[in-house]
Amino acid sequence: MKKNNDVIFLGVSDMKSLKKLASLEGSLKSNGMIWVVWPKGQKQLSGNDVRNKALEVGLVDVKVCSFSESLNALKMMIPKARR
């Protein structure tokens, strides 16, 4: 993947696909963002799962939104202390 991206969109549908989040920080600008987008109302993946994985890999969530009628999204960033 290209380096120094301002924005990366990661579409996920389950915990397995969420593992990809760990490899994306190196492709971001220091003040860049990753939007993680997942289907609403699914038991196998929730907003808390996405948030917990982000914290596990050193990212913080800074915004949540309803991306569409069927998708949610969380905006992840590198914490200010590490930029």
> 3-state SS of 47-75?
HHHHHHHHHHCCCEEEEEEECCCCEEEEE
pLDDT on residue 8: 97
Give pLDDT tens digits for 15-64. Answer: 999 999 999 999 999 999 999 999 999 889 999 999 999 999 999 999 99
Mean pLDDT of 57-82: 95
Q: Residue 54: which CATH number?
A: 3.40.50.150
Domains held by the chain: number:
1
| Confidence class for position 83, pLDDT limits 50, 70, 90 | confident
The residue range of the domain holding 46 is 5-82
pLDDT on residue 47: 93
pLDDT on residue 48: 94
Q: Distance of CA 82 to CAs 25, 29, 59, 78, Å?
A: 12, 12, 10, 7
The answer, yes or no, to whether residue 1 has pLDDT greater than 80, is: no
